[in-house]
Structure 1
Amino acid sequence: MAENSSSGLTRRALLGAFAATTLTAAPTFSNAAGYLRGGGDIRRIRMYSGRTGERLDMIYWIDGKYLKDSVKEINQFMRDWRTDQVKTIDLRTIDIMAAAHNLLDVNEPYMLLSGYRSPQTNAMLRRRSRGVAKNSLHMKGQAADLRLSSRSVSQMARAASTCRAGGVGRYSRSNFVHMDCGAVRTWGG
């Protein structure tokens, strides 16, 4: 298709309009990706772990493609730190986290409290707390528990809920928000 500069309509503009229409017409998950479009053709995630001391500040998506090496580093970062087991993190969860972070308009990285959890870790946490699900999405690499010191649990939960792309749990007493790419739902206080 040739560029049509006389009308100001280019092939790129038509493709962009088509992509935007497709994104808004697709069900639920596209909402999170839609909130990332405002950042251009780049998606970035920033986190640190108080448990391991590791930091991550990574562009993981450019021009419609996930960067394999970046995603591998995210998987390693979000591993079960207790067992050192790594699981592939669902890219939808990473997109929800990045979209909520963009909506919060902060430079502070998330503090990752929990990403992937091995079945052994999940069972141990269930013995210690009523708030840990038997079939937690953490065990599938589809959930993260996150904190920001510059934003309240309510602000973080509201940003994640705005994406309408998965589950959002508010844990105000423990000062963190759970985000996952499962069914759209909210809980907690």
Structure 2
Amino acid sequence: MTTTRRGLLGVFAATMVTAAPTMSNAFGILRGAGDIRRIRMYSGRTGETVDTVYWIEGEYIPEALKEINHFMRDWRNNQAVVMDPRTVDIAAASHRLMDVNEPYMLLSGYRSPATNAMLRSRSKGVAKNSLHMKGMAADLRLKSRSVPQIFAAASACHAGGVGKYSRSNFVHMDCGPVRTWGG
């Protein structure tokens, strides 16, 4: 008998705990303290959604990560890379800390060098060597939470870079060195 992803998801969905962890143990989630990791996002650009359990009992689910990689692709040229799952972990842990059911709106995941250069020519806020080009960053927003709330949750994870872009209404999360910026 073979085990399918759908079968696993059905078993684990029935046992999933939806209580949000406290800020003090957010880092534990990223280190494997939880049994299940789930990410929910939608893209206003493509109309696509992703709602998937991507990690169970200490193991990433390759099929789910492929789905996430495709979803987080550069929508301008349809190019995708393997996204660093640590970025997804930070987004998922932040989401749980905020205790929301609403999916994130993904503004930017992977960016090709050409897309990054184009955006950089239009804005001073785009880094020349952006971690978006390495599949290590995501720009996210929630309708039900403010930029400072999302920023606080992501910062509480102490697991990467967190940028606050209040005027543009989004928070940048990446799995690079721990640091914060923005206003």
Measured against the shorter chain, the TM-score band is 0.7 to 0.9
1:130 equivalent in structure 2: 124
Structure 1 residues 121-152: Cα deviation after superposition (integer angstroms, max 9, x where no partner)? 00000000000000000000000000000000
- 5+ residue gaps in structure 2? 1-24
The TM-score, its normalising length taken from structure 2, stands at 0.84
1:60 equivalent in structure 2: 54
Structure number with larger C-alpha Rg: 1
Cα gap change, 1:124 to 1:72, in 2 (>3 Å): same
Cα gap change, 1:134 to 1:185, in 2 (>3 Å): same
SS in 1 for 2:68: helix
1:178 equivalent in structure 2: 172
- More displaced stretch, 32-41 vs 64-73: 32-41
1:51 equivalent in structure 2: 45
CA contact (8 A) 1:143 1:179 kept: yes
SS in 2 for 1:95: helix
Structure 2 Cα separation of the partners of residues 180 and 33 of structure 1: 15
CA contact (8 A) 2:72 2:108 kept: yes
Return the offset for 1:73.
0.3
Structure 1 Cα separation of the partners of residues 42 and 32 of structure 2: 24
Return the offset for 1:34.
1.1
Structure 1 Cα separation of the partners of residues 31 and 133 of structure 2: 29
Cα gap change, 1:118 to 1:103, in 2 (>3 Å): same
Q: Percent identity?
A: 75
Query: Aligned-pair RMSD on alpha carbons?
Result: 1.6
The TM-score, its normalising length taken from structure 1, stands at 0.81
SS in 1 for 2:114: helix
